[in-house]
Amino acid sequence: MNPASGPGPQHEAQVPRERSDVPFFLSLGLISALYVALILAMLVADASFTTPKHLLSALDSPYIRYSIQLSLLSCTMTTILSLWVSIPIGYLLARGDFRGKHLVDAILDIPIVLPPLVIGLSLLILFQTGLGRAVERVIPVTYEIPSIILAQFMVACAFAVRTLRATFESINPRAEQVALVLGCSRAQAFWLVVLPEAKRGVLTAGTLAWARSLGEFGPILVFSGATRMKTEVLPTTVFLELSVGNIEAAVAVSLLMVAAAVAVLVIVRVFGSEDTLRGVV
């Protein structure tokens, strides 16, 4: 055998054939398309079920107008309270290193993982205790407008905390450290350096808190009730209209909430922080 001739064909190394990724991505695309199609089908079904006449008739109802006004008021108040609380908590979790941090972090997730009805029931029981009754003697809460804001706040604030923690963690601490070296106090460095850099995250947190408040139903139903012209917000309006068989009005109100949700998503996508959104639980 001539060594120069090299090994025969039977000894040649078998190069594996490159497999196509097309079937894999097709399967992923099919699953994604089915879910997206389901969401669009629900929206189309809602839109086709009602007419502009039904929508105008719903807006002409004094009950629905009241629920719109109360929803706007309560969601705005809840957003302000959520930001007021979540900014310091988010900053503390992002920058602080203290004993019990992981426990505090876990406790802050409780409103997110608990069933909404349980949150409402827990608030109702809280205001039957001695402390709750003492507060009620000063400010009526249960089955009143403050109960709506509190029920919305308990859930919305938890999402705002997660958003702002991710925001502060994404900010390079170097500028803050430079401000401290130059003579700023920690509070001055926070207000003058950190908070301006976090403005997009604050906008994202506030927008998400507002949207979450608008869609809250379970805690409000238990803790605030669903009394016409008193504690009626948009989600409870849908419930009340369904309970009397007025499906057209319920769908019309639902479409108003869908429009608000779309507006919120546009604001978050255009003006919000993508890094913050990726860090939200």
Average pLDDT, the chain: 85
Residue 148 maps to a domain:
yes
Provide mean pLDDT across the span 80-107: 91
pTM of the model: 0.81
pLDDT tens per residue, range 34-83: 999 998 898 888 888 777 777 787 778 888 889 999 999 999 999 999 99
For the domain that residue 137 is a member of, what is the CATH number? 1.10.3720.10
Residue type at 15 in one-letter notation: V
Q: Per the domain annotation, does 191 fall within a domain?
A: yes
Average pLDDT over residues 199-208: 90
Q: Is 6 among the domain residues?
A: no
- Does residue 126 have a pLDDT over 90? yes
How many other β-carbons are positioned within 10 Å of the β-carbon of residue 179? 18
| Helix/strand/coil (H/E/C) assignment for every residue in 159-186 | HHHHHHHHHHHHCCCHHHHHHHHCCCCH
Inform me whether the pLDDT recorded for 254 exceeds 50.
yes
Angle, CA 167 vertex, CA 161 and CA 171 arms, to 5°? 145
The token duo for 235 is: 């989600």
Shortest CA distance to 280 belongs to which of 198, 167, 171, 196?
A: 167
Residues 200, 63: Cα–Cα separation, whole Å: 36
Q: Give dist(CA 88, CA 202) in Å, integer.
A: 12
Residue 40 lies in a domain: no
Whether 232 and 27 have beta carbons less than 8 Å apart is answered as no
12 domain residue, yes or no: no
Supply the pLDDT for residue 281.
Answer: 43
**Residue 258: what pLDDT?**
86
Domains identified in the chain, total number: 1
Instruction: With cut-offs at 50, 70 and 90, classify the pLDDT of residue 256.
Output: confident
Q: Which residue has the tokens 């079937």?
A: 23
Whether 124 is covered by a domain: the verdict is yes
Task: Please report the pLDDT score of residue 56 as a whole number.
Answer: 81
* Predicted confidence (pLDDT) at residue 10 exceeds the cutoff of 70: no
Note the pLDDT of residue 83: 95
Position 2 scores a pLDDT of 54
Is the pLDDT assigned to residue 273 strictly greater than 80?
no
Q: Which two tokens stand for residue 157?
A: 């604030």
pLDDT of 278: 52
Tens digit of pLDDT for each residue in 131-152? 989 999 999 999 999 999 999 9
Per-residue model confidence (pLDDT) at position 144: 92
Least confident residue range of 108-112, 148-152, 194-198, 244-248: 244-248
pLDDT at 244: 84
> For residue 27, is it within any domain?
no
- Domain range for 271 is 54-279
Q: Is the pLDDT of residue 239 over 50?
A: yes
DSSP conformation class of 139 = S
**190 secondary structure, DSSP code:** I
User: What is the structure's pLDDT at 12?
Assistant: 54
Q: Is 159 part of any domain?
A: yes
- Rounded CA gap, 88 and 125, in Å? 28
Going by pLDDT thresholds of 50, 70 and 90, the confidence category of residue 264 is: confident
Task: Give the per-residue pLDDT at 49.
Answer: 79
